[in-house]
Amino acid sequence: MSYEKILFGVLQAHGLLPEGSADALSLELLTGGFWNRVYRLRSKKNASLDWVVKQFVQVPVNPLFPILPSAEHAALQFLQDHKCAPTPVTFIATSPAGSLLIYEYVEGSSWNGDLEAAATLLARVQGIAVDVFAKSAFRKLLTDALALQEHAEGMLQRHQSAMSDSVRELRPTVFTQSSLPKLREVLVHTDCGPGNMVSGPQGLRLIDWQCPGIGDGLQDVVTFLSPAMQVLYGYPVLAPAQEQQFLSAYFSALDEHPSDAQETLARLHRVRSSHHYRFAAYCAMRAQDTAASDEKTSRLYGVALQAEMQLLQGLLS
């Protein structure tokens, strides 16, 4: 039996599709995902049935971008009324068709280069107050610079090599302070590269919330600015002027009290290099993990690594 028939059977069994509707449906495999299989399911008779069906695959645990199906569903529920992400339909944890997340298809194309829209989107997500639901649904993320670097070291230790050593040479110095401003915890996407932003008629949306957490909103800011993330999603590295344009729009959209905005900016300067160091460690790990099995992917991560290291060198100098 084809996967299409198995999937339709599962959806019918869960009351999502009427019996005998298979002939009026079309299933299209979408491209662009790094790990999971993502389909677009449409009805030829009912225009309102236009869904994404995400089939989660079993892969080794990723130390930076884990696949967390129930957390992705929770993120879509948490953001449902805020026009930041796709609208959830349902989550089916286990079925003959696999673990499935279904949400409404977001019409549009990958991020169109509008830096102010991207910055405003992140600020809007971070403006949503974390509630009891969010605290129980999402993992806690690392926020301390030293903890980020220790996480990076764990990835570098996977391969004892010249590549790993070259990243270690750029490990930033961590300056401790006796009193740090209290961090306002927010929902963090963690994988908000340009490929996970969809530009459409209703504005920009963040998709692929497969590894969210509660932590410092600046993690998403640094992730978006990361040269490695731009390279991995097929975009050019942001120029310094573009980076400043993005940050200016972000801080403006945060609508913080001037003293709070000053603390956020100070925190960005304090932790940014450690985030980039962790990205570099991740790219080095992935380049070496895939060297024997997938030369194309290994080369891509190698290019991303060089771009990340170049930025990190500039920050440290």
What does CATH list as the number for 110-316? 3.90.1200.10
pLDDT mean over 87-101: 96
Domain with CATH 3.90.1200.10 in the chain: 110-316
What band does 264 get if pLDDT is binned at 50, 70 and 90? very high
What is the DSSP code (8-state) at residue 159? S
Residue 179 has pLDDT above 60, yes or no: no
What band does 88 get if pLDDT is binned at 50, 70 and 90? very high
Predicted local confidence at residue 59, as pLDDT: 83
Contact yes or no for 134/78 (Cβ under 8 A): yes
Predicted local confidence at residue 32, as pLDDT: 65
Dump pLDDT digits (tens) for 187-196: 999 999 999 9
What band does 20 get if pLDDT is binned at 50, 70 and 90? confident
CA 275 to chain centre: 14
Dump pLDDT digits (tens) for 195-230: 999 998 889 999 999 999 999 999 999 999 999 999
Mean pLDDT rounded to a whole number for the chain: 94
Residue 261 has pLDDT above 90, yes or no: no
Residue 159 has pLDDT above 80, yes or no: yes
Percent of the chain with pLDDT over 90: 84
232-239 CB contacts, 8 Å cutoff, 24+ apart: 232/193, 232/195, 232/300, 232/301, 232/304, 233/110, 233/193, 233/194, 233/195, 233/196, 234/195, 235/111, 235/194, 235/195, 237/307, 237/311, 238/115
Report CA torsion sign: 62, 67, 71, 77: positive
CATH architecture classification, 3-105: 2-Layer Sandwich (3.30)
State whether residue 255 is helix, strand or coil: coil
pTM score, whole prediction: 0.95
Which of 55-59, 64-68, 226-230, 307-311 is the least confident region? 55-59
| Of residues 71, 211, 218, the one with CA closest to residue 134 | 71
What band does 173 get if pLDDT is binned at 50, 70 and 90? very high
Q: How far apart are CA 1 and CA 268, in angstroms?
A: 53
Owner of token pair 């961590």: 174
| Of residues 313, 308, 271, the one with CA closest to residue 180 | 271
Domain with CATH 3.30.200.20 in the chain: 3-105
